Each structure stands twice: as C-alpha cells, then as structure tokens.
Structure 1
Amino acid sequence: MLAGAASAANAASASGGGWREPTPVVELDGPRGVAVDHAGRIVVSEADGTISRVIDRGRNPKVHELGSVPAGFIAPAVAVARGNRVFALTTAGEPGTGAATLYQVRPGRAAKAIADIAAYQQTDPDPYDLEDNPTESNPFGVAALKDGSVLVADAAGNDLLRVHPNGDVVTVARFKPRVVEVPEELPDEFDGEPLPPAGTPIPAESVPTSITVGSDGYWYVGELRGFPATPGTSQIWRIKPGSVDAVCDPERPNSGHCRRFADGLTSVVDLAGGSHGTIYAVQLVQQSWLQWELGLADPPVGGLIKVRPGGSKSEIAPGSFILPGGVDVGRHGKLYVTAPVFGPGALLRVG
C-alpha cells in the first residue's frame, strides 16, 4: 500500500478551508524533515539520511543533494538557520554511534557532529519516566534559533533541550505524563500483556516529538502521547524563550514558563509556525500511532491541523495525507508537507 501512498496523498478530493489539493513537488524515499529558509528554498531529508535542498520554481523543481547523516529507523529532522546553515538530527541510538546526534550539514564536506544527545541524556535522566529507562533518548524534532543555538525535542527523554554552538546542552523543559483513558478500539492484550478495560485511567508519557518557533518568538512543542496513545490527548505547549528546567504539567497547564497552547490533538509528529500566532501541526495517524501499529488504521490517514491562538483548530485538506511526517511554511503562506514517512513518498505543496 505504501508504494502508492505518494499518489494517494494527492488523490483525495477533500480540501478544507479553501486550501488547494496537495500537489507533489518532488518524489522522495521515506521523507520526513522539511524546513524552508529565508530565500524560500526547501531542505528535506530521506530515510537513508540524505539531506537535499529543493527549489520549487516553475514546472521543473530542482533538487541539490547537500550531504548525509547516519540513517536511523526514520529519516532525520532538519532545520535551517541564518547563513544557509543546515542542521540534521538523527533519531534513537546509543551514545557514540552517530545516532541521536545533532549535525551541521555542509555541502561538499562531511556532516559535522555538534552534540551527542544520547550521551547528554545519560547525565540527565527523566524524573517522570514510566518505562524504567530514564536515560533513554530519541531526539525527534529540531528548530534553529537566531543566536546560533538549536532546540531539540527528545521523544524518549520527554524534554526540550537547547544546544549551543560550542556543543553545550541545557534542559529547557520537562514534560510530565498525563492520565488518559484506555481507548475502546484496542485488543485485550498488547505485546503478550493483558490491557486494562476500555475507559480505565492510566498514566501515559508525553513523548514530545516536535518543536517550532512561533511568530511571537515563543517556543512551541507538540506531543505524540505514549501508550495507550489515546486519541485526542496530545497537547501543544508554549514555552517562554530562554527558559531552563521549566515543567510542562497537564495538571497545572496555565502556570510557570511552560503553558498549554492547545489540546485535543492526536499523535503529533511535527509543528510549524505561521503568521499571527498560528501553529500548524502534523498528526501521523488520525486514529493514533498505536492503532496503526496494531493494524486498526488502514489506510493510515494522517492530518494537517491549523491551530490558532486560543486553541481553536481546523483541518487542512482532510483525508489527503498518508503517514505525514513534516510540515513547514513557505513563501506567501504555502505549506510544504512530507508523506509518507515510510516507503516511496513526496514533498507536497499545499496552498
């Protein structure tokens, strides 16, 4: 099914809110990361670790390979900064292996490792860990700041980190678990273990996957939501710039330097900042990532959600995205989305 998902992403007839149907720009293999620079050029990543720049002009978009980073279980996240600097973030792995590492990608030269995120997390255990592995690391989202530092959302560490140009890392915020109800659609057991009955309240980790800088300068983080991945329990948090050791607490969502911006989302895997305080969120699978893994979401349709200040939400081009992985805002308000994250896919233009 995934072999045809790139065309399927463009085939859906629905298009919400006056947005045009998504249009493929270039074909990519397992695309995820997408970031648009100040000149309107688009940096994308693929499953094998390749990082490329796409110029979306005219009928024949141009693709220039910039370099590569070690491949992981999914394509790296990417960010662009002033001076045409490109950053790539590899996902889960052990310290010193090239996984879970922030790189600067330089054309014609080997990628430069800036910080080993997995190594840092060995010294910074998650105090709210629910899986008996408080030093686990799976850096998943990345955003570049104007001062040269880079923000990293660690989905396994349940925190937001800031990496300075010299490689020093500090913890910006930690994300506490949330009590959710077991959804009705799940089977009676998972991984050989019985599941509590539907409706049973259990704690679930935050799993912060995504980070962007809003038009107001604040830092926004999106959640996937850990097991049992209850739909509608993913949040977006708004963090005061410059924060250190802030706590994002679903029991106290309106206090401190980390406050809830929006609630009621599902399996968020990327964010992008739009104009007037708007945030765009990519939902990997509308029914939740767990239901997809269990074979209960077929086809695995994801979603692109526009979130306005105050938390109101609207879906863009509903039904059009199969396992989307990334989003960013280009010139004139156009959106760029990568999908699907596994198998043959494409960079899609929306708007």
Structure 2
Amino acid sequence: MSLRRHQTSLMGGITALTLTLLAGCTPAPPPINHQGSVVAQGLNGPQGVYVGSDGAVWIADSGTGGPNSFTTPAGPGSTDPTVNMYGNTARIIRVNAQGAATTVATLTSVAGAEGPEGASRLAELGGKLYISTGHWGDGASIAQLPQTSVLLRLDDSGVTQIANAWTFEAAQNPDGQEKDSHAYGLAAGPDGQLWMTDAGANDLLRVNPATGEITLVTVFDNLPNDNPGPGIPPTSQAVPTGIAFLNDGAAYVSLLPGFPFTPGSSKVVRVASDGTQTDWATGLTMTTDLTTGPDGNLYAVQLGLFGGQGFTPNTGSVVRLKAGGVKETLLTGLDTPTSVAFNQKGDAFISVGGAAAPGTGKVLRWDGLTSKSPVAASD
C-alpha cells in the first residue's frame, strides 16, 4: 500500500503505520467503557469474525508472511523494489461453544514493507463457509500466488477456490486506476449470491457460488480531501470494506478513504439493485466493517483516530447506525478493531489488534451489546 494513496493494501499498510508511528503518539488512551471477555488471543492481525449457524465463532487471521520471497516495483517516493515474504501462516480458526479453538485451515500470507495480509472475512451461505483472502497487484516478479485476492469455500473436503478477484481486476480494471485487488468484505446476499468488496479495486462484486462468475455491481469513485496541501493528495481512494443488508434489497457498504485518513471522512453508502449509490450515514472515521445486528440495525466498526503523529492508541469504537444516519457509539477505547459479528441473543464478538504487533490480536465478547444504551449519539 502506498501510505499516501492507500491503494495496494487495506490493513497491511495500516499495521505498518501503527508499529512505526505509535511510539510518537502522546495522547493518553481513553478508557474502555465496557470490558469484554476473551474468546481467542495470540492472533496475528485478525481481520474477520463470524458466528456460524451452530454458534461456533470463526476467525480470519492475517498471518505473518513466511520463508519465501518475491519482489514488487518501487512505490511512490521510493527507488527500491519491495521484497515480500510469503508462506502458509494465515489461519481460519474455529472456537466451539466450550471455548476450544482449532485451526481448521492455513492459507497464504504475504508480508511486505507494510505488514502481512492473508485471510480477510467469512460468510455462510447454504450451510457452507466462504472466505475472502489475500491481496495482489500489478508488477509482481512472479505469477499470482495461490489464495491471493480470491474467494474460497471451506467444507469437509478442505479449501476450494470459487472465484478470482485479481483475474477480474486484471482483465477489466473497472476504476481505471492502478490494477490492484484485495478481496475483503464478504456477505451472503438476499439473492442467494455472495457479495464481496474489493478494497484494492474500489468496487463491489457479486459472485455466483455455484459457478464462480463475478459480476460488477458498482465502482466507488475517489473522494475529495479537505485542505489538500504539500504531501496531501486532492483525493483519496474510497476503499470499500464491510457489506451488510437490511430488508430493502439494497447493499450497504462502508468506505474507508485513504491517506490522510481524515476523521469524519468515512461513510456508509446504500447501493441499490441497479448500482446507484446514496450516502446513508456520514461522519464516520476509518470504518473497517459493517454488520446487521439481530435487532435490525447496522453496526459499524471504526479502526481509530489517525493524526499527525500516527494512531492515537486505543481509539477504536463500535457504532450503532439507525435510520436517518443516526449514530450511537456503544464501545470506545478499542485497540484497532476490525470486525464485529453477533449471535441471535445480541452478544457481540469483535476482533481487535488487527493493526497491532503479531501475537497481540484477540477476539473479545460483549454480552447483549445490541440492548446497550449508547455512550454517545449524534445526528
């Protein structure tokens, strides 16, 4: 990922920014207003959490790269190519009702100058589990690695590739910018199809789970930056992250605009069946996920606040979004949260440490979060 354009990596570059700049952050961390219980720990950049129909908690973990290497061209402001290390260190983890965690699959993880990327998100459709995973861009010194920017299915026979988002991006490049693909947000749609955001290609895709056919739903245009100046581009790529559905047939997509990660520049857009986009909730900050709770409201995850010195520690949050764009903050003081999932009782499972040091990631549980009163609300 370019730290200026935020286009080749979603969380990998944010991880690197955190680790290199965190020491310079001076603000004191705000208190955590609710104390969650630990479901899983020792994770390496967890990106996705999902509660299965059987009540098991599934986790998508980025991994730590590996012993093999390839190079990619120099990015903006650099003359040296990047050496990327890769291996099968990304994980899909299942935590059963008794709390026992089992790694059920290992996937490709790629670690470059801006951190590791591997498994992204999980969704269930027709009793089968699907996984979005990996990132791939133009100009690598080798052909596309397995399990990089693809959609996988996990069942008793193992992992099977269903669709290849990078192949789609390389052939069509819908946004007309650098060819780059990061299969990220994933949800089962009311139409029986899988819906996926490509955070590198800046588009929303629909995937037929039976055939693997990919259909473009819409492209998200770059968003203007306020007060662009030296080192600040006039626009940032939209970077779509989470996907959720209400009862109106439309898809709701969270956008995490790139550098300079201006507070309040993130938003949720409503995408109608014909691809028409409408702002639905604005004034959010670095929104990494969007989920429909069992109460019928949308819930957004905000990664944290990014300023002149980097990330302010423990500024991530979870926000309930109501009709009319009303925002109610439920949890604050979280360490770079990336994803939220609910069981039918309204208990929340949140992956944290998604942009933190390897081994520090966790999944935490907050009982009855959908019934909690907000700690802050705004129009």
Equivalent residue for 2:95, pick from 30, 54, 62: 54
- Extract unaligned runs of 5+ from structure 1: 3-10, 189-193, 247-256
| 2:86 pairs with 1:70 | no
- Counterpart-to-counterpart distance in 2, 1:338 and 1:75: 15
Q: Secondary structure of the equivalent of 1:111?
A: strand
Normalising by the residue count of structure 2, what TM-score does the alignment of the two structures yield? 0.72
- Counterpart-to-counterpart distance in 2, 1:300 and 1:14: 8
Counterparts in 2 of 1:179 and 1:339: CA distance versus 1, 3 Å:
same
| 2:281 pairs with 1:236 | no
How far does residue 267 in structure 1 lie from its aligned partner after superposition? 0.8
- Counterpart-to-counterpart distance in 1, 2:123 and 2:338: 17
Normalising by the residue count of structure 1, what TM-score does the alignment of the two structures yield? 0.77
Counterparts in 2 of 1:142 and 1:28: CA distance versus 1, 3 Å:
farther
Structure number with the higher strand fraction is 2
Q: Secondary structure of the equivalent of 2:206?
A: strand
Aligned partner of 1:140 in structure 2 is 184
- Counterpart-to-counterpart distance in 1, 2:278 and 2:189: 20
Equivalent residue for 2:331, pick from 291, 314, 317: 317
Between 82-91 and 98-107, the greater mean CA deviation after superposition: 82-91
Contact 2:38 2:363 in 1 (8 A): yes
Q: Secondary structure of the equivalent of 1:156?
A: coil
Equivalent residue for 1:265, pick from 259, 284, 287: 284
- Residue pairs, 1:99-118, within 5 angstroms: 99-107=148-156, 109-118=157-166
Aligned partner of 2:231 in structure 1 is 195
Q: Which amino acid aligns with 1:258?
A: Q
Q: Which amino acid aligns with 1:40?
A: G
Number of residue pairs aligned between Structure 1 and Structure 2: 300
Equivalent residue for 1:283, pick from 275, 278, 302: 302
| 2:347 pairs with 1:302 | no
Counterparts in 2 of 1:84 and 1:127: CA distance versus 1, 3 Å:
closer
How far does residue 128 in structure 1 lie from its aligned partner after superposition? 5.8
Equivalent residue for 1:96, pick from 108, 124, 144: 144
Contact 2:123 2:131 in 1 (8 A): no
How far does residue 147 in structure 1 lie from its aligned partner after superposition? 5.1
Aligned partner of 1:40 in structure 2 is 55
Q: Percent of aligned pairs with the same residue?
A: 26
- Counterpart-to-counterpart distance in 2, 1:272 and 1:91: 21
Contact 1:66 1:105 in 2 (8 A): no
Q: Which amino acid aligns with 1:219?
A: A
Aligned partner of 1:208 in structure 2 is 240
Q: Which amino acid aligns with 1:350?
A: W
How far does residue 215 in structure 1 lie from its aligned partner after superposition? 4.9
Q: Secondary structure of the equivalent of 1:346?
A: strand
Q: Secondary structure of the equivalent of 1:118?
A: helix
Q: Secondary structure of the equivalent of 2:362?
A: strand
Aligned partner of 1:6 in structure 2 is none
Aligned partner of 1:329 in structure 2 is 342
Aligned partner of 1:26 in structure 2 is 40
- Counterpart-to-counterpart distance in 1, 2:278 and 2:134: 27
Aligned partner of 1:153 in structure 2 is 197
- Counterpart-to-counterpart distance in 1, 2:124 and 2:310: 40
- Counterpart-to-counterpart distance in 2, 1:219 and 1:47: 26
| 2:363 pairs with 1:347 | yes
Contact 2:294 2:342 in 1 (8 A): no
How far does residue 263 in structure 1 lie from its aligned partner after superposition? 0.3
Cα deviation 1:189-237 (Å, max 9, x = unaligned) = xxxxx425xxxx9222211122122355431110110222211011101
Between 148-157 and 94-103, the greater mean CA deviation after superposition: 94-103
Contact 1:33 1:75 in 2 (8 A): no
Q: Which amino acid aligns with 2:224?
A: V
- Counterpart-to-counterpart distance in 2, 1:67 and 1:91: 14
Q: Which amino acid aligns with 1:299?
A: P
Between 167-176 and 60-69, the greater mean CA deviation after superposition: 60-69
Contact 2:62 2:120 in 1 (8 A): no
